[in-house]
């Protein structure tokens, strides 16, 4: 069996490749490279796909979060609640505005933030909550929206890993004040470079974000506020559009791979009993888009041994994320200590993501599951 990568962006359907080549040529010949009609078309298509009133294309998922916080006027003296068990950008952007990230613990069942811990950590300075829909599964939005409403604070959804994921019948990015998406190539909807998107329901807020996107100039060269260069390239927008048309199909394939893994691991007897060698990701009632399929090993040592065994079998795997943010060196001034967020720390020691990308073949899924079963049989 050949190598199984975690993601292979070179596996291009020929029809898609043709459409991408056409998009490239179209933009090249238009001479219009920043914002413009391709970006506007993508914005409209994404707003409709996400069930949001407004969508604003931006330079990255990170900049989507940053401009969202800026648009809400968040800065020095403010606190913003976010999970510790997430990608760095969620909290990095909070700090960059001058506000303080306040980390909450995760739930073992969903890897997402624990609504009870959110409520405990609200203070008079709390201005926003940023739930992350980690790995493509929505956070407990009903509870989070309820808490936010009772305390009159904004919810910014970090939907970077979750475009098209659903909570009950609503889509990621359409539930909070603002939704933030990334088109980084490893996300379910990836560009051929960097890109991001902000969604919101409120026209005034959408206008504010559009102005911040171009250094706060409105009209051009008249700056009422200080923004940044958060613009999206026309070329990236044009290259995303053909993939957006295939997004449902590709996310469905990921979900099929995930279901196959679940079945194969159960059949191999790896998930039963009181201390099973593997814990599978829970299947939520609403649509999970499986940006990652993430297993839990029983402890860091068994995970390290499994990873090594997989590497020796040419199967890629990755740890998203090995160090919870409250323990990162750059946040040491916030005084986070080991033991503060026990579930996040435990998950960081146990999680392992295995290949689940759409273009993976069924035999590859079976092969990965077979090798994992072999590891536990041998050990």
Ligand X SMILES: *Cc1c(COP(=O)(O)O)cnc(C)c1O
Q: Report the nearest approach of ligand X to the CB of residue 365 (Å).
A: 23
The 100-104 sheet, strands edge to edge:
54-58, 196-200, 178-182, 154-158, 126-129, 79-83, 100-104
- Considering the complex, what minimum distance in angstroms separates the CB of residue 139 from ligand X? 11
Token representation of residue 317: 């795997």
**Least distance from C-beta 160 to ligand X, angstroms?**
3
End-to-end CA distance of the chain: 22
- In the complex, the smallest distance separating the C-beta of residue 269 from ligand X, rounded to whole angstroms, is 33
Residue among 265 and 321 whose Cβ is closer to ligand X: 321
> What is the smallest separation between the CB atom of 50 and ligand X, expressed in angstroms?
16
CB of 111 to ligand X, least distance (A): 11
Joined together, the tokens standing for residue 245 give 């048309």
- The smaller minimum CB distance to ligand X, of residues 132 and 154, is found at 132
| Closest CB 329 distance from ligand X, rounded Å | 19
Residue ranges in contact with ligand X by CB under 6 A: 60-62, 86-87, 89-90, 132, 158, 160-161, 182, 184, 194, 196
Which residue lies nearer to ligand X by CB, 126 or 182?
Answer: 182
Cα–Cα distance for residue pair 325/105, rounded to 1 Å: 11
Nearer residue to ligand X within complex by CB, 292 or 364: 292
Q: Is 279 helix (H, G, I), strand (E, B) or coil?
A: strand
Question: Looking at the chain, how many residues does it have?
Answer: 379
- The residue among 90 and 317 lying less far from ligand X, judged by its C-beta, is 90
Among residues 105, 178, 113, 182, which one has the least CA distance to residue 141?
A: 113
Task: Give the CA dihedral 331, 337, 339, 345, nearest 10 degrees.
Answer: 20
Q: How far is Cα 376 from Cα 269, in angstroms, rounded to an integer?
A: 10
Residue 221 three-state SS: coil
Shorter beta-carbon distance to ligand X: residue 67 or 306: 67
- CA–CA separation, 137 vs 172, rounded Å? 9
Euclidean distance between CA atoms 132 and 104, whole angstroms: 11
Query: For residues 52 and 160, which CB has a smaller minimum distance to ligand X in the complex?
Result: 160
How far apart are the C-alpha atoms of 140 and 144, rounded to whole Å?
Answer: 6
- Of 118 and 160, which CB lies nearer to ligand X in the complex structure? 160
214 vs 230: CA distance, rounded Å: 7
The torsion defined by the Cα of 51, 54, 57 and 62, in degrees rounded to 10, comes to: -80
Smallest distance from ligand X to CB 33, Å: 19
Beta-carbon contacts of 257 under 8 Å, excluding residues fewer than 6 positions away, are 290, 293, 356, 360, 365
Q: Are 105 and 119 in contact (CB under 8 A)?
A: no
Nearer to ligand X by C-beta: 47 or 64? 64
Question: Looking at beta carbons, which residue is closest to ligand X?
Answer: 61
CB of 314 to ligand X, least distance (A): 26
Only one residue has tokens 């409250």, namely 326
């Amino acid at each position: 069996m050949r190598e199984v990568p975690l993601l292979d962006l070179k596996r291009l359907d020929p029809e898609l490749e043709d459409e991408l080549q056409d998009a490239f040529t179209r933009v090249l010949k238009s001479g219009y490279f920043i914002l413009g009609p391709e970006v506007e078309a993508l914005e409209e298509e994404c707003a409709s796909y996400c069930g949001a009133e407004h969508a604003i294309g931006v330079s990255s998922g990170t900049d989507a979060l940053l401009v969202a916080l800026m648009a809400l006027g968040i800065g020095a003296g403010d606190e913003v609640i976010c999970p510790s068990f997430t990608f760095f950008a969620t909290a990095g952007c909070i700090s960059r505005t001058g506000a303080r990230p306040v980390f909450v613990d995760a739930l073992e069942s969903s890897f997402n933030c624990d609504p009870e811990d959110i409520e405990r950590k609200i203070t008079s300075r709390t201005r926003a909550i940023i739930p992350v829909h980690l790995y493509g599964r929505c956070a407990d939005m009903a509870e989070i929206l309820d808490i936010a409403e009772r305390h009159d604070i904004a919810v910014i959804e970090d939907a970077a890993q979750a475009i098209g994921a659903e909570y009950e019948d609503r889509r990621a990015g359409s539930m909070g004040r603002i939704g933030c998406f990334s088109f980084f190539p490893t996300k379910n909807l990836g560009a051929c470079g960097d890109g991001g998107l902000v969604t919101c329901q409120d026209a005034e807020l959408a206008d504010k974000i559009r102005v911040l996107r171009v250094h706060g100039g409105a009209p051009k060269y008249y700056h009422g506020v200080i923004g940044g260069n958060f613009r999206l390239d026309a070329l990236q927008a044009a290259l995303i559009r053909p993939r957006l048309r295939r997004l449902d199909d590709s996310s469905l394939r990921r979900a099929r791979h995930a279901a196959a893994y679940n079945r194969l691991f159960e059949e191999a007897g790896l998930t039963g009993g009181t201390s099973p060698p593997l814990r599978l990701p829970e299947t939520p009632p609403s649509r999970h888009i499986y940006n990652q399929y993430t297993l839990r090993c029983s402890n860091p040592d068994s995970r390290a041994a499994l990873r090594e065994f997989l590497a020796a079998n040419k199967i890629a795997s990755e740890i998203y994320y090995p160090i919870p943010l409250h323990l990162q060196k750059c946040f040491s001034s916030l005084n986070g200590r080991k033991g503060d967020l026990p579930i996040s720390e435990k998950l960081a020691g146990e999680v392992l993501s295995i290949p689940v990308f759409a273009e993976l073949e069924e035999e590859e899924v079976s092969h990965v599951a077979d090798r994992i079963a072999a590891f536990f049989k041998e050990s």
